[in-house]
Amino acid sequence: MADEQSTTTAEDAQVEERTFQTEVQQVLQILIHSLYTDKDVFLRELVSNASDALDKIRFQSLTDKDIVDPDADLTVDISIDATAKTLTIRDTGIGMTRDEVNANIGTIAHSGSRQFLQKLSEETNEENKLKLIGQFGVGFYSVFIVAERVVVTTRSADKEADAVIWESTGDGTYTISTTKNKIARGTEIKIYVRSDCEEYLDAHRLEGVVRRHSDFVSYPVKVAGKQANSASALWTRPRNEITAEHYTEFYQHLSGDHQQPLAWEHVAVDVPIQFYAVLFLPQQSPMELLFGQDPKVKINLHVKRVFIQDDCELLPLYLRFVRGVVDCDDLPLNVARESLQNSPVIAKIRQTLTRRVLNKIEDLANKEPAKFLTFWESFGIVLKEGVARDFDHREQVSKLLRFFSSFSAKLAADAAADAAVPAVATEAGGDDAADKATPERTTATEGLVALQDYIDRLKENQDVIYYVGGDNRQQVEQSPLMEPFRKHDLEVLYLTDPVDEWVVNSLQDFDGKRFQAIDAEDLDLPEDARIEGAESGQDKERTIELVSFLKKELASRVGEVKESGRLSDSPCALVVPKGGLSQQMERLIRMSDQNFPITKRTLEINPRHAAIRNMGELLKADRNSDELKEWSHFLVDYVLLAEGKVESPERVMAQIQKMMSVSSEAALKARDK
Ligand code: ADP
């Protein structure tokens, strides 16, 4: 709600002056004081609002004839008064009541403006700021790009409601009043055009803007009485007549996004159900759309060109990043919301569209790796849900998954080198070579790995897909558990998204190969990667004693202690006992159930490491050594430190401090010798 400032209630008019919500004021400041690079945006936004208002009344009048002006033509009229220097945009849409005006224009409920402000506040570079301002339309407020003053007169379709007059110069306040005059239904926006924007008082100029930005609006948009758009629904037009610009404009109108779409798919189906669809993959989506409280599939459903609703389940939820429209001839116009939910027609459409979207993504993966990378970075995390949630398409989705692996750095370097190879030097090839100097970012240059790539590189005798879960690449990369894999050149997938292990657990295998966590206690390494304990009887005995000592000393922190058959350079590692949950899965579950018990892991020690050997010797000499106890705990802390999960930093720091003193003293002594 807008903040109320003062109310001067005149008997009939009830004139009120109100201040805009703070955020609105910020947006207005920016609009009025910045050099807006693409001023045309304002007209697109206003026509788009008018078109929405017409959609709403058309839908309502399907079932409700008891409205103001039930037979009015549905149009948008743009007129110019050159003498008064005003531009007026009038629609016969649903109009607004006084409360609606206050709620809709005066506050910043809609996400576009909020997203705009957020992006703007994150941007520090002035030039980029200007660019941002040029890209975003901020709905109704865009009017202040060209307006000195704006008067909105609106009459709701609701017969009980009076017409409302809203007026502002965009300087922080607006006035609102009511009139008993029986004006026609809809909304009129009268713009007193700023002196530096008088180009918009030229009908030719306006026609051009409408044709370019609003051609697909399905109602006639007239400039000075003459229709300027083709007013046919884009999706019903023959595909070969639609240009990339048309699709882009349509996408922007539909989504409120001001970037180009990444890709689109135009579907026209006749049997068994007749429907059209135009679906878009955006480059990015606001987080709240993907991960808000109650995420929804945002596809507009039309029935025989009439807009019905915008949140019908026309795609499974894991494809909720897709935007678009569906228009079906085989649904009744007065279809009820509830019956849509179980409609076999909708189910059939969903089936077709799911396949088309997944095919489109697969196409990008195969033919346009740069676009696929953009897609994957924006929506990979959402798409992954499909593996666990859509059994029918599990296999197809699993082929689209990409991961980093222990081979990524090398793969990325190779791909970058390949891409940077200058074209064969011809005389004209000079530019070409320069172009290739900085290769385009693709899934290959990033070193992203598809499961099929992994399978294609399997070592002889390797019959599982190794993976390690963790918070990020750096962390898993330097895990002691990676040792045998690095040594034997075995590829390990890095599962660093919180949902990754959930995803591979539900997949279970790929191409007949099982997924195997490398931190499993019962990990079965290929024969040549196993380390046999070639120790003399004395060493063996020392290790057995240390193991039983550590078991007792660390009973509260680890479930079991064992000699390691995989470590060669690191002193120890923590592994997950059979039947236990990995750290990532545990964290995922604990997000919804905080009382979920923590699995105690098994500590593996490497008897070949000097520190472990020394601890064993010390144990033999003095079973009650305090230092031995401290080191025992430090073995666990050492692993937790690498995982970024130290439980009590003060203990670890005290230990490290001690070690610093001891080793610096040793260094000094060595010098003195
Ligand atoms: P958005 O269109 O993104 O919601 P706007 O700032 O453009 O944001 O408009 C805010 C709201 O004002 C709209 O959602 C709509 O409810 C209302 N509105 C704007 N223009 C009109 C109009 N011409 N007729 C009826 N309602 C309108």
The confidence score (pLDDT) of residue 656 equals: 92
pLDDT at residue 433 tops 70 = no
pLDDT at residue 255 tops 90 = no
The confidence score (pLDDT) of residue 135 equals: 58
What tokens were used for 536? 């003399």
Nearest-angstrom CA–CA distance, 247 and 243: 7
Nearest Cα to Cα of residue 219 among 310, 139, 307, 325: 307
Least confident of 168-177, 256-265, 312-321, 427-436: 427-436
What tokens were used for 210? 């409408």
Nearest-angstrom CA–CA distance, 643 and 470: 8
The dihedral formed by the CA atoms of 614, 618, 623 and 628, expressed in degrees to the nearest 10: -60
Per DSSP, 333 falls in state T
From start to end of 70-172, where are the E strands? 76-81, 86-91, 147-155, 163-168
Confidence of residue 448 (pLDDT cuts 50, 70, 90): very high
Nearest Cα to Cα of residue 210 among 195, 226, 221: 221
Smallest CA separation from ligand 1 atom 7, residue: 139
What tokens were used for 518? 């490398």
Confidence of residue 111 (pLDDT cuts 50, 70, 90): low
Least confident of 28-37, 166-175, 530-539: 530-539
Average confidence (pLDDT) over 525-554: 82
User: Using CB atoms within 10 A of its CB, is residue 119 exposed (0-12), middle (13-18) or buried (19+)?
Assistant: middle
Nearest Cα to Cα of residue 295 among 274, 317, 276, 310: 317
pLDDT at residue 404 tops 80 = yes
What tokens were used for 574? 């923590």
User: What contacts 423, CB < 8 A, 6 or more positions away?
Assistant: 429, 432, 433, 436
What tokens were used for 46? 């206003």
Rounded mean pLDDT of the chain?
88
Nearest-angstrom CA–CA distance, 347 and 22: 45
The response to whether residue 20 sits with its C-beta less than 6 Å from ligand 1 reads no
Q: Say how many Å lie between the CA of residue 48 and the centre of ligand 1.
A: 9
Nearest-angstrom CA–CA distance, 126 and 117: 14
CA angle, 333 then 342 then 294, to 5°: 100
In percent, how much of the chain has pLDDT > 90?
63
Q: Say how many Å lie between the CA of residue 74 and the centre of ligand 1.
A: 17
Smallest CA separation from ligand 1 atom 19, residue: 49
Least confident of 249-253, 465-469, 493-497, 554-558: 249-253
Q: Say how many Å lie between the CA of residue 24 and the centre of ligand 1.
A: 14
Q: Say how many Å lie between the CA of residue 400 and the centre of ligand 1.
A: 39
* Domains of the chain as residue ranges with CATH: 15-231 (3.30.565.10), 236-380 (3.30.230.80), 401-527 (3.40.50.11260), 532-672 (1.20.120.790)
Smallest CA separation from ligand 1 atom 23, residue: 50
Q: Say how many Å lie between the CA of residue 141 and the centre of ligand 1.
A: 10
User: Alpha helices, DSSP H only, in 368-492?
Assistant: 369-383, 385-389, 394-400, 408-420, 429-435, 451-456, 473-477, 483-487
What tokens were used for 575? 């592994």
Nearest Cα to Cα of residue 280 among 248, 238, 327, 315: 248
- Contact (CB, 8 A) for 615 and 627: no
pLDDT tens, position by position, 329-339: 888 877 777 77
The response to whether residue 239 sits with its C-beta less than 6 Å from ligand 1 reads no
pLDDT tens, position by position, 224-233: 999 999 888 8
Residue type, 399: K
User: For a pocket test of ligand 1, which of 52, 164, 254 has the largest count of ligand atoms closer than 8 A to its C-beta?
Assistant: 52
pLDDT at residue 113 tops 70 = no
pLDDT at residue 238 tops 70 = yes
User: Alpha helices, DSSP H only, in 34-159?
Assistant: 41-63, 98-104, 111-122, 126-135
Distances (CA, A) of 468 to 455, 493, 550: 17, 6, 26
The response to whether residue 50 sits with its C-beta less than 6 Å from ligand 1 reads yes
Smallest CA separation from ligand 1 atom 16, residue: 104
Q: Say how many Å lie between the CA of residue 327 and the centre of ligand 1.
A: 23
More confident residue, 66 or 537: 66
Q: Say how many Å lie between the CA of residue 427 and the centre of ligand 1.
A: 57
The confidence score (pLDDT) of residue 308 equals: 83
pLDDT at residue 3 tops 60 = no
Least confident of 289-293, 432-436, 661-665: 432-436
The confidence score (pLDDT) of residue 429 equals: 46
Nearest-angstrom CA–CA distance, 321 and 281: 7
Ligand 1: which atom is nearest the Cα of residue 189?
A: 23
Q: Say how many Å lie between the CA of residue 76 and the centre of ligand 1.
A: 15
The response to whether residue 105 sits with its C-beta less than 6 Å from ligand 1 reads yes
- Contact (CB, 8 A) for 73 and 93: no
Half-sphere exposure of 153 (CA within 13 A, CB side): 13
